[in-house]
Structure 1
């Protein structure tokens, strides 16, 4: 497969608050979430709708890969400090995050909201970084990651999405802390779906 996009070109839209996202000299993208930022909807319990995103629209089938590392305030990260991929669809949104558990163990977390949020914890990680993979084929969307130790793809979650273009974002969140920064690099997008997603 030949990459059609490498790193961050003009097809990516920065958030209105330009202080929350910038390109570093090494070509990596840095996104910083302010205190209280999150995307989550559970009526009567928790409803927050605001994270800094760097986004673009992608049409048709594709495979997107990007490496993300998460850095909390004062060098640490609190529960729910996270960075990852966010997909906006015609009927809601879905995200995959590199995020610590309440016990401080790093792992992958997915949330699907249509409109209420359905949350699931996926594979554990050795630390606050992962190579995330997003695959769209027709009306099927799949989240995966590439295991750092073996290089193998690991299936995380799949869902159906309505036909039509998708808005894909790179984001950070800091629901319960002062701020959180996510750094994205090694971005690649190819215009076809990864063949084996399981």
Structure 2
């Protein structure tokens, strides 16, 4: 993810409740439930076979591990999932600036969430990252690729969440398994971010959502 190079201000732990009005509901292919926004995107398109989200300038979701900095401005399109599930999607990002990225979230509020991110890292490489936030973000770069698209899989079985990736959608590798105990009902969603750039568009396609527990801790398969 990121190591901020600018001066960190006071830590503000902002709580939110993203309850959408009926008119704000969004339907996307592959997800059987209505979706709503946490933070408004600069633009989005829920096409017949994909979802694209354009984040505006300075958009991010991050709680610096050392304290003194918190930001919760990235747009996230979320839905209420089943108790257990497996969610798979291909993410393609029009990388321009450092820290541009597309992500899948498990969201409670701005102080507790899981962020599974495909990012243009500060090392100048495209990185598969993950972070678990319980007040502060556990920040980790997990793998690199030269392609601007990758497959992500998020799987839940009770309080165990699995994060997996694949470069071609067939051979999966585990990023992490984490026991995550939410303090309130979770929502799951898709996001784009551009902390240092003007805009970043992330496109999610081949979205497959299946209720039920995952059994394979190596691939996230059911």
TM-score (norm 2): 0.76
Q: Secondary structure at the match of 2:117?
A: strand
1:100 is matched with 120
RMSD of the TM alignment (CA)?
Answer: 2.2
Give 4+ residue runs of structure 1 displaced > 3 Å after superposition: 14-19
Q: Secondary structure at the match of 2:94?
A: strand
1:140 is matched with 160
Q: What's the offset of the Cα at 1:182? A: 0.3
Asked if 1 retains the 8 angstrom alpha-carbon contact of 2:41 and 2:53, the reply is no
Q: 1:129 aligns with which of 149, 153, 159?
A: 149
Q: 1:18 to 1:41 in 2, by over 3 A?
A: closer
Q: Secondary structure at the match of 1:130?
A: strand
Structure 1 residue 65 corresponds to structure 2 residue 88: yes
1:172 is matched with 192
Asked if 2 retains the 8 angstrom alpha-carbon contact of 1:96 and 1:143, the reply is yes
Superposition map of 1:2-21 within 5 A = 6-8=29-31, 11-14=34-37, 17=40, 19-21=42-44
2:103 is matched with 84
Q: What's the offset of the Cα at 1:14? A: 4.1
Asked if 1 retains the 8 angstrom alpha-carbon contact of 2:164 and 2:174, the reply is yes
Distance in 1 of aligned mates of 2:29 and 2:197: 32
Number of equivalent positions? 187
Distance in 2 of aligned mates of 1:16 and 1:84: 14
Q: What's the offset of the Cα at 1:165? A: 4.2
Task: Flag the structure with more relative contact order, 1 or 2, with Cα contacts below 8 A and sequence separation at least 6.
Answer: 1
Q: 1:155 to 1:18 in 2, by over 3 A?
A: closer
Q: What's the offset of the Cα at 1:146? A: 2.1
Unpaired runs of 5+ residues, structure 2, are 1-27
Asked if 2 retains the 8 angstrom alpha-carbon contact of 1:54 and 1:170, the reply is yes
